[in-house]
């Protein structure tokens, strides 16, 4: 049993090197006005909220600023935590990464383990477990922005059962294999979605098939029947030149739009009583939202396949409803009147810059109301072309959905195994102890 394993603090298991447990730059040591277009990436909460490490969506500082913040640099094997803001997410700096250097941002902290005592992967899984999460959240101040009280002291004093290194390797190998497959599915879905976005842009933004036909060429990679659906010339509109016969529509004319409305608080629950309830973009996953709450008295609903768009801080984040669900006031649900889920989803993705204008021009929190949403202008091709796009995208969308379903199943298996492995309640095959 786990009580046969010694209990140690993180401080006892951290590296003897300086700054092995370290909080990010404090106060004016790193300010937003020091961010630049490119350079050394700054780690933030977004980099640990999608699996073990999300190597994208950075802000940057120049090399000189990074040199002055050398003690905040993160190296492979560092276990990363958020101590202020969106708490509870844990990251693990990988060996293979995009950039040679990374600097922790203000809300981050890290642990650098002594590999002769504690594997960083094992600490990562302990911190993501119910025990680790309970420890962190039991020390959160609820005044103002949520933050861990005395974060470094709290981190160093955390106690956990520490098995032998062979046992640690066996445990992390089992859990890591599941996470590797989940990560592979995520990357595959990113690739599939990139392919779909490229085709959408070619057809409905760059108008490549129309340009080819106007020049007397066969559109690349397109059969003759599909090519014949596209016009062979352009005409002037208020949004510039568009394919002849296509019109400039609006969201209000071409789409069914539902703005979310939060039901009474007493109708929320975590006991699966009612329908899934999503309040805002914090419930979003890679493609589909994560179920956190249910509602037994829903007010505004989204249907399976509807595109979900955040309408409050930030405006324009996008997911897709995987089932009929209730949406709160931070979200909207939209579907083209032709019924196409794929065309709707990728059209809304293409309007990202328009949504961003409402974030910049709105209140401190940014928002878009229903009237402004309905007035957004967008290209409106004939429904036969929308249907053709839907036919081509359906296999890709189905693959994305299948990968997502498999990942959810693997997550459930991992989450069920995690406490049993950490409490020595599962017999681990000897051959894994290497």
CATH code assigned at 92: 3.90.220.20
Residue given tokens 């959905």 in the structure block: 401
Same domain, 20 and 149: yes
Confidence of residue 434 (pLDDT cuts 50, 70, 90): low
Same domain, 6 and 132: yes
**Whole-number pLDDT of residue 362:** 42
Domain boundary among 364, 380, 396: 380
- pLDDT tens digits for 305-324? 999 999 987 899 999 999 99
Domain that holds residue 18: 2-159
Same domain, 7 and 155: yes
Is the pLDDT reported for residue 111 higher than 90?
Answer: yes
Confidence of residue 433 (pLDDT cuts 50, 70, 90): low
**Whole-number pLDDT of residue 3:** 65
**Whole-number pLDDT of residue 38:** 92
**Whole-number pLDDT of residue 324:** 95
Which one is predicted more confidently, 277 or 85? 277
Give DSSP secondary structure letters for 68-114. Answer: HTGGGB--TT-EEEE-BSS-S-EEE--SS-SSS--EE-TTEEEE-B-
**Whole-number pLDDT of residue 316:** 92
Same domain, 260 and 130: no
The contacts of residue 61 (CB under 8 Å, 6+ apart) are 30, 34, 35, 36, 39, 40, 42, 69, 103
User: Is residue 32 included in any domain, yes or no?
Assistant: yes
- Cβ-contact 131, 422 below 8 angstroms: yes
Which one is predicted more confidently, 291 or 96? 96
Is the pLDDT reported for residue 228 higher than 80?
Answer: yes
Same domain, 139 and 276: no
Domain boundary among 98, 131, 159: 159
Confidence of residue 131 (pLDDT cuts 50, 70, 90): very high
User: Is residue 20 included in any domain, yes or no?
Assistant: yes
The arithmetic mean of pLDDT across residues 379-388, rounded, is 96
- pLDDT tens digits for 22-34? 999 987 888 888 8
The token duo for 255 is 């789409």
Same domain, 155 and 268: no
User: Is residue 272 included in any domain, yes or no?
Assistant: yes
User: Which of 137-141, 170-174, 353-357 has maximum average pLDDT?
Assistant: 170-174
User: Is residue 388 included in any domain, yes or no?
Assistant: no
Q: For the beta carbon of residue 127, count every other beta carbon within 10 angstroms.
A: 25
Same domain, 150 and 266: no
Number of domains within the chain:
2
User: Is residue 352 included in any domain, yes or no?
Assistant: yes
User: Is residue 398 included in any domain, yes or no?
Assistant: no
The arithmetic mean of pLDDT across residues 8-35, rounded, is 90
Query: Cα(340)–Cα(322) distance, rounded to whole angstroms?
Result: 15
- Cβ-contact 226, 384 below 8 angstroms: no
**Whole-number pLDDT of residue 286:** 82
The arithmetic mean of pLDDT across residues 258-280, rounded, is 91
In the beta sheet, which residues pair with residue 420? none
pTM of the model: 0.83
Confidence of residue 432 (pLDDT cuts 50, 70, 90): low
Domain boundary among 159, 183, 208: 159
Give me the chain's average pLDDT, please.
91
Same domain, 151 and 264: no
The token duo for 103 is 């600097």
**Whole-number pLDDT of residue 430:** 57
Q: What string of H, E and C letters represents the secondary structure of 380-407?
A: ECCHHHHHHHHHHHHHHHHHHHHHHHHH
**Whole-number pLDDT of residue 2:** 53
Residue given tokens 């992967």 in the structure block: 121
**Whole-number pLDDT of residue 28:** 80
Share of the chain above pLDDT 70, in %: 96
Same domain, 37 and 155: yes
User: Is residue 348 included in any domain, yes or no?
Assistant: yes
User: Is residue 386 included in any domain, yes or no?
Assistant: no
Same domain, 142 and 289: no
End-to-end CA distance of the chain: 20
């Amino acid at each position: 049993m786990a009580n046969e394993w010694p209990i140690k603090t993180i401080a006892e298991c951290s590296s003897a090197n300086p700054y092995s447990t370290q909080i990010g730059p404090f106060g004016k040591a790193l300010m937003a006005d020091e961010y630049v277009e490119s350079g050394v990436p700054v780690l933030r909460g977004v980099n640990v909220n999608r699996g073990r490490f999300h190597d994208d969506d950075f802000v940057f500082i120049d090399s000189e600023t990074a040199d002055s913040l050398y003690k905040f640099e993160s190296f492979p094997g560092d276990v990363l935590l958020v101590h202020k803001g969106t708490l509870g997410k844990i990251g693990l700096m990988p060996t293979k990464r995009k950039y040679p250097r990374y600097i922790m941002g203000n809300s981050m902290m890290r642990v650098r383990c002594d590999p002769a005592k504690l594997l960083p992967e094992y600490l990562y899984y302990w911190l993501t477990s119910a025990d680790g999460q309970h420890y962190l959240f039991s020390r959160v101040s609820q005044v103002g922005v949520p933050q861990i009280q005395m974060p470094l002291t709290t981190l160093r004093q955390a106690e956990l059962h520490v098995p032998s290194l062979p046992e640690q390797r066996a445990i992390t190998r089992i859990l890591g294999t599941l996470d590797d497959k989940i990560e592979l599915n995520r990357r595959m879905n990113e690739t599939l979605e990139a392919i779909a976005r490229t085709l959408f842009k070619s057809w409905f933004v760059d108008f490549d098939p129309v340009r080819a036909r106007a020049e007397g060429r066969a559109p690349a990679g397109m059969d003759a029947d599909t090519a014949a659906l596209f016009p062979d010339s352009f005409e002037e509109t208020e949004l510039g030149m568009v394919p002849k016969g296509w019109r400039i529509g609006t969201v209000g004319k071409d789409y069914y739009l539902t703005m979310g409305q939060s039901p009474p608080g007493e109708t929320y629950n975590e006991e699966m009583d009612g329908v899934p309830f999503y309040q805002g973009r914090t419930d979003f996953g890679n493609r589909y939202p994560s179920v956190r709450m249910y509602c037994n008295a829903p007010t505004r609903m989204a249907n399976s396949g509807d595109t979900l768009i955040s309408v409050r801080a930030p405006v324009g984040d996008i997911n897709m409803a995987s089932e009929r669900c209730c949406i709160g006031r931070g979200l909207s649900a939209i579907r083209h009147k032709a019924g196409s889920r794929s065309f709707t989803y990728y059209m809304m993705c293409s309007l990202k810059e328009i949504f961003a204008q409402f974030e910049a021009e709105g209140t401190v929190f940014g928002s878009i109301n229903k009237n402004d949403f309905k007035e957004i202008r967008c290209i409106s091709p004939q429904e036969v072309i929308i249907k053709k796009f839907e036919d081509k995208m359906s296999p890709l969308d189905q693959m994305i959905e299948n990968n997502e379903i498999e990942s959810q199943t693997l997550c459930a298996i991992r989450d069920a195994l995690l406490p049993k492995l950490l409490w020595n309640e599962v017999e681990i095959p000897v051959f894994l102890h290497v």
